[in-house]
């Protein structure tokens, strides 16, 4: 008996670089990326974040340089996070028209007009002295927790203030129930009916946020975020969260983190069909950088593979600290 030979040969379509390119299903572009940036009051500040090489705490002036160089690489969308000069129990400084994100938004808008697209992260954790994502109340004697409904008006005010300062889109990240509906109503009432909302709809209580909390100086001072962020073990619950946000008027929904949640990204994309964003978070970034610095992985290859996997899973928008490197590599640099 001669060995039967295959009539169907998938390898035929892998036989040359040009053919592989012809049949490639997923292609990354710099315009897929949103670069998160951290801004703090002052001038001339450019503090590299130890666990996030190539990412900095910037002041509004150096922020302009950073955005300019990213723009030259083809990155046009940016997400701003603020590190305020002072914090208080309610995160009031987040709402002030001369707050750090408001100031930065105006500076970037003035320098770049509408050549760049500006998203503002909407959460109180960087502004509260306790580091939680809203105001607190006691749910039982001695047991503080985020007061969901008391937090909503503050989030609305923060969004409206950012809208007035020039944000193009608001991105609430606090996992507060009803936040999208409240913000939608607040924006509409303030004359911003056309402003889109990208909700951090399925945001998990994740260990991968470690480096971010150093970057944004926002770690919870006690406890954890398990009463508002999702249990990493849950998938159906993510569908419920996304369905609620869609019903409340979210224009784009986000899954966060990205890499350990590719299954969630795919489920959301298949089920809801609206634009899906994924946040390739600080810990995911730091692991790649650390391994690359040790010579254990090929940084370029691994980074592009990770970003491609996130897009292939269904996220057309990728928030990533790799944005500048990736754009450079995609351009052949
Ligand atoms: C909260 C917020 C966090 C991140 C983005 N928005 C931190 C948290 O929930 O503790 C994390 C992003 C990252 O790790 O890169 N406002």
Q: Give CA–CA dist 31/33, Å, rounded.
A: 5
**Cα→Cα distances 215→48, 81, 232, Å:** 9, 10, 23
Query: pTM for this structure?
Result: 0.97
Counting from 1 in the atom list of ligand 1, the atom nearest the Cα of 285 is: 15
Measuring CA to CA, which residue among 163, 147, 247 is closest to residue 201?
Answer: 247
**What are 208-220's pLDDT values in tens digits?**
999 998 899 889 9
Q: At what angle do helices 60-72 and 323-330 cross, to 10 degrees?
A: 20
Cα–ligand 1 centroid distance for 209 (angstroms): 6
Q: Assess whether 203 carries a catalytic annotation.
A: yes
Alpha helices in 73-118 (DSSP H): 100-112
Ligand 1 lined by 123 (C-beta under 6 Å): yes
Residue nearest to atom 14 of ligand 1 (CA): 209
The residue among 82, 79, 80, 78 whose CA lies nearest residue 115 is: 78
Extract the tokens encoding 314: 């269904």
Q: Which mutation among 155, 216, 319 tests ligand 1's pocket best, with the greatest number of atoms within 8 A of CB? A: 216
Give the pLDDT of residue 214. Answer: 86
Q: Which of 245, 242, 240, 307 is nearest to 278 (CA)?
A: 307
Q: Are 198 and 169 in contact (CB under 8 A)?
A: yes
Closest by CA position to 312, among listed 273, 274, 263: 263
Where b means 16+ CB within 10 Å and e means fewer, 161-191 reads bbbebbbbbbbbbbbbbebbbbbbebbeebe
Extract the tokens encoding 257. Answer: 């983190």
Report how far residue 176's alpha carbon sits from residue 172's, in angstroms, rounded to the nearest whole number: 9
Q: Quick count: other Cβ atoms within 10 Å of Cβ 208? A: 23
For residue 209 and ligand 1, the question of a CB distance below 6 A is answered with yes
Q: Where are the domains of the chain?
A: 26-330
- Report the Cα 314 to chain-centroid distance in Å: 16
Fold of domain 26-330: TIM Barrel (3.20.20)
Residue 176 in contact with ligand 1 by CB distance below 6 A: no
- CA separation for the pair 22, 116 (Å, rounded): 32
212 lines ligand 1 (CB under 6 A): yes
DSSP 277: E
Q: How many of the other CB atoms lie within 10 Å of CB of 273?
A: 10
- DSSP 8-state assignment for residue 295: T
What angle is formed at CA 31 by the lines to CA 25 and CA 34, rounded to 5 degrees?
A: 115
Q: What is the DSSP secondary structure assignment for residue 2, as one 8-state letter?
A: P
Centre of ligand 1 from the C-alpha of residue 1, in Å: 63
Residue with tokens 């760049």: 116
**Is residue 173 lining ligand 1, measured as CB closer than 6 Å?**
yes
Q: Indicate if ligand 1 lies below 6 Å from the C-beta of 213.
A: yes
Our answer on whether the CB atom of 284 is closer than 6 Å to any ligand 1 atom is no
Contact of 39 with 81, CB cutoff 8 Å? yes
| Residue to substitute in 52, 281, 323 for testing ligand 1 pocket (most ligand atoms within 8 angstroms of CB) | 281
Beta carbon of 248 within 6 Å of any ligand 1 atom: no
For the chain, residues with pLDDT lower than 70 are none
Cβ of 118: how many Cβ atoms within 10 Å? Answer: 24
> How close is the Cα of 9 to the center of ligand 1, in Å?
46
Provide the token pair at 207: 């260990």
Nearest Cα residue to atom 1 of ligand 1: 173
> Percentage of the chain with pLDDT > 90?
97
């Amino acid at each position: 008996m001669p060995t039967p030979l295959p009539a169907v040969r998938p390898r035929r379509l892998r036989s040359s670089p040009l053919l592989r390119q012809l049949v490639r299903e997923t292609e990354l572009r710099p315009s897929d990326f949103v670069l998160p940036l951290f801004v703090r009051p002052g001038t001339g500040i450019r503090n590299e974040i130890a666990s996030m090489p190539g990412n900095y705490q910037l002041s509004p002036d150096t922020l302009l340089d950073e955005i300019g160089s990213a723009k030259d690489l083809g990155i046009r969308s940016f997400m701003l996070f603020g590190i305020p000069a002072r914090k208080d129990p309610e995160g009031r400084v987040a709402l002030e028209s001369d707050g750090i994100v408001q100031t930065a938004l105006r500076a970037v808008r003035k320098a770049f007009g509408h050549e760049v697209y500006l998203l503002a992260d909407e959460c109180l954790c960087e502004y509260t002295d306790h580091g939680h994502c809203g105001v607190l109340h006691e749910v039982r004697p001695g047991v503080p927790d985020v007061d969901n409904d008391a937090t909503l008006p503050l989030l609305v005010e923060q969004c409206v203030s950012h809208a007035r300062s020039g944000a193009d889109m608001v991105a609430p990240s606090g996992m507060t129930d009803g936040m999208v509906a409240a913000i939608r109503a607040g924006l509409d009432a303030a004359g911003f009916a056309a402003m889109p909302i990208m909700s951090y709809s399925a945001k998990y209580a994740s260990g991968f946020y470690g480096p971010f909390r150093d970057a944004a100086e926002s770690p919870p001072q006690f406890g954890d975020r398990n009463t508002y962020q999702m249990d990493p073990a849950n998938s159906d619950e993510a569908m419920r969260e996304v369905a609620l946000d869609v019903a409340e008027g979210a224009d784009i929904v986000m899954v966060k983190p990205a890499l350990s949640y590719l299954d969630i990204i795919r489920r959301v994309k298949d089920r809801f069909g609206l634009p899906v964003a994924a946040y390739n978070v600080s810990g995911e970034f730091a692991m790649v950088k650390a391994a690359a610095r040790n010579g254990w992985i090929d940084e370029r290859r691994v980074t592009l593979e990770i970003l491609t996997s996130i897009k292939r899973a269904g996220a057309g928008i990728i928030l990533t600290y790799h944005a500048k490197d990736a754009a450079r590599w995609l351009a052949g640099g």
